[in-house]
């Protein structure tokens, strides 16, 4: 059992004087149905329900106390209410504390940004492994440590506070020495990672996405800012690795210097001479890229298997975080040279076809543009793009994605992504609005809503000099439509389409 007054004071949530000295707990929950004797209830006002409405249920189940944020909350008989400023933050911090603060014994790092997070985690994982450290990763593709893979694909980029605490506890118990995490803007806004003792945090870029949740780009930018100006300082400082070529990165650097003096800023850039890590040249070959950079004036060389300038940017984030964790250049160079990339990130489908087929997770205007530009290096003929846009998500990016495809692709097949509860035809029409606005006279497009049929048509159309990009779902092995998830993998569908075409010939 834990003395609640001491626990709340230790986590900087409430002074001990406000809590009865004889209150003790052994667990914490934000679900009144999981309450019982010794279980602290945390009332969180969420999108679907307000935990303050379930105080009576928590009391009836035997909870000794509840944390609330509303000053108007009324205590049922037998339930002691303690008001805190932010119950989401309180819940996350208490989950970590009751799990034994497992991240305190690890080299913990996380990355945020619109695009590139997953690849950065694979790069940093490879660096940490090259340094001889047993490493755990929590991200979009899966949750893994050692030889153990927990979930694939992961149900969400960043787990809930209770799940996070349990994963970290298990990792620490199994000897994990380093932690690498993707941290989404939703997770930061909802305080899911508060209480984790990060020593380094990285930022890739900020482009339009998730405006169905954040409403404006300013709100989206502010959500990610929390990682550098609130989460890192609460962990005792650490290093913020920031992209000075992105306006948001420059904003974060200034905000950290103004509000978080205990956090060290480590900056990188392709262009700005004031950056800590500055790229001089990038030499591209068939086998990858050679990067010549300067680390505060000293030569710093990197070799990558991965193509695309955006992967150089990803490597700079990973290298900066590795330096912030105290790793040396040898481990960084060795790890980056070994990184083959994340599943579903510019992944080539090899099924014996005479043309490249590339599957990529690109699902924003910026990531689609980068993927299509990178694919152009593989073709002498046409670029055929197959993509859609997710339902129940930011609709504003759909015409933008259409415009990007119209400017770069020769033949476009608009199809379903994960339509969820939206009408697929309506999503496609919004993409078509952008295509029609930006298309050249030679650009061809068609709509095939069934994604498997769209992939088969792209394979049928392709000639040896062409390249096909299938974008939007990447590593995902399901399609989400009308509340049902069915098995669907772009890589499997492409390979099957190639095999069927060969049989037909």
- The closest of 152, 119, 117, 147 to 135, measured between CA atoms, is 147
Domains of the chain: 2-96 (3.40.1390.10), 99-338 (3.40.1190.10), 347-504 (3.90.190.20)
pLDDT at 214 (0 to 100): 67
Q: What angle do CA 124, 129, 133 make, to 5 degrees?
A: 110
Summarize pLDDT for 34-66 with one digit per residue, the tens. Answer: 999 999 999 999 878 899 999 999 999 999 999
pLDDT at 18 (0 to 100): 84
Q: Which two tokens stand for residue 441?
A: 């006279």
DSSP category for residue 406 = H
pLDDT at 49 (0 to 100): 87
The three state secondary structure string of 139-172 is CCCCEEECCEEEECCCCCCCCCHHHHHHHHHHHH
Burial of 45 (0-12, 13-18, 19+ CB in 10 A): middle
pLDDT at 359 (0 to 100): 97
pLDDT at 448 (0 to 100): 99
pLDDT at 208 (0 to 100): 76
pLDDT at 32 (0 to 100): 95
Count of CB atoms within 10 A of residue 340's CB?
10
What is this structure's pTM?
0.90
Q: Cβ(236)–Cβ(195) under 8 Å?
A: no
Give the 3-state secondary structure of residue 361. Answer: coil
- The closest of 263, 313, 368 to 119, measured between CA atoms, is 313
All residues at 6 or more sequence positions from 254 whose CB lies less than 8 Å from its CB, including other chains? none
pLDDT 10s per residue in the chain (505 long)? Answer: 899 999 999 999 988 778 888 999 999 999 999 999 999 999 999 878 899 999 999 999 999 999 999 999 998 999 999 999 999 999 999 999 999 999 999 999 999 999 999 999 999 999 999 999 999 999 999 999 998 998 767 788 889 999 999 999 999 999 999 999 999 999 999 999 999 999 999 999 998 777 777 679 999 999 999 999 999 999 999 999 999 999 999 999 999 999 999 999 999 999 999 999 999 999 998 789 999 999 999 999 999 999 999 999 999 999 999 999 999 999 999 999 999 989 999 999 999 999 999 999 999 999 999 999 999 988 899 999 999 999 999 999 999 999 999 999 999 999 999 999 999 999 999 999 999 999 988 899 999 999 999 999 999 999 999 999 999 999 999 999 999 999 999 999 999 999 999 888 7
Please report how many Cα atoms fall inside a 13 Å half-sphere around the Cα of residue 180, on the Cβ side. 32
Q: Which two tokens stand for residue 358?
A: 């590339």
All residues at 6 or more sequence positions from 93 whose CB lies less than 8 Å from its CB, including other chains? 11, 12, 13, 194, 195
Which neighbouring-strand residues pair with 485? 480
User: How far is it, in rounded angstroms, from Cα 459 to Cα 384?
Assistant: 9
All residues at 6 or more sequence positions from 81 whose CB lies less than 8 Å from its CB, including other chains? 55, 65, 66, 67, 68, 73, 75
pLDDT at 215 (0 to 100): 76
């Amino acid at each position: 059992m834990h003395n609640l007054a001491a626990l709340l004071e230790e986590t900087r949530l409430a002074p001990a004087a406000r809590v009865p000295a004889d209150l003790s707990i052994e667990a914490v929950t934000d679900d009144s149905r999981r309450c019982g004797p010794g279980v602290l209830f945390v009332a969180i006002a969420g999108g679907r329900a307000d935990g303050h409405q379930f105080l009576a249920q928590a009391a009836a189940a035997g909870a000794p106390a509840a944390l609330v944020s509303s000053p108007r909350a009324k205590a049922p008989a037998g339930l002691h209410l303690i008001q805190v400023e932010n119950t989401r933050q309180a819940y996350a911090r208490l989950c970590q504390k009751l799990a034994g603060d497992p991240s305190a014994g690890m080299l913990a790092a996380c990355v945020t940004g619109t695009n590139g997070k997953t690849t950065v985690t694979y790069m940093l994982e490879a660096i940490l492994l090259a340094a001889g450290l047993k490493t755990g990763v929590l991200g979009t593709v899966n949750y893994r440590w050692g030889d153990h893979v927990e979930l694939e694909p992961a149900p969400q980029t960043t787990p809930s506070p209770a799940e996070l605490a349990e994963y970290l506890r298990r990792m620490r118990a199994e000897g994990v020495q380093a932690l690498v995490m993707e941290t989404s803007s939703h997770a930061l806004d909802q305080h899911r990672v508060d209480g984790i003792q990060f020593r380094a945090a990285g930022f890739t870029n900020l482009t339009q996405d998730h405006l169905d949740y954040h409403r404006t780009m300013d709100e989206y930018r502010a959500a990610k800012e929390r990682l550098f100006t609130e989460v890192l300082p609460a962990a005792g400082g650490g290093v913020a690795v920031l992209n000075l070529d992105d306006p948001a990165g420059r904003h974060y650097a200034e905000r950290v210097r103004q509000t978080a003096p205990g956090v060290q800023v480590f900056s990188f850039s392709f262009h700005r001479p004031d950056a800590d890590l500055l790229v001089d040249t990038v030499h591209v070959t068939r086998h990858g890229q050679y990067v010549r950079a300067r680390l505060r004036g000293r030569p710093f060389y990197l070799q990558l298997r991965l193509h695309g300038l955006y992967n150089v940017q990803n490597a700079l984030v990973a290298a900066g975080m590795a330096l912030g964790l105290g790793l040396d250049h040898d481990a960084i160079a060795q790890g980056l040279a070994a990184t083959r990339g994340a599943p579903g990130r510019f992944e080539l489908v090899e099924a014996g076809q005479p043309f490249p087929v590339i599957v990529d997770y690109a699902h924003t205007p910026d990531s689609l543009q980068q993927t299509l530009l990178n694919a152009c290096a593989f073709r002498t003929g046409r670029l055929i793009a197959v993509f859609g846009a997710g339902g129940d998500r930011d609709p504003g990016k759909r015409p933008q994605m259409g415009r990007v495809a119209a400017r770069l692709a020769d033949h476009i097949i608009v199809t379903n992504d994960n339509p969820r509860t939206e009408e697929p035809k309506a999503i496609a029409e919004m993409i078509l609005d952008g295509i029609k606005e930006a298309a050249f006279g030679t650009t061809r497009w068609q709509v095939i809503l069934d994604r498997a049929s769209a992939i088969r048509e792209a394979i049928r159309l392709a000639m040896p000099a062409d390249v096909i990009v299938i974008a939007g779902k990447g590593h995902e092995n399901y399609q989400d439509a009308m509340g049902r998830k069915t098995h669907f993998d772009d890589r499997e569908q492409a390979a099957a389409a190639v095999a069927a075409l060969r049989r037909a010939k």
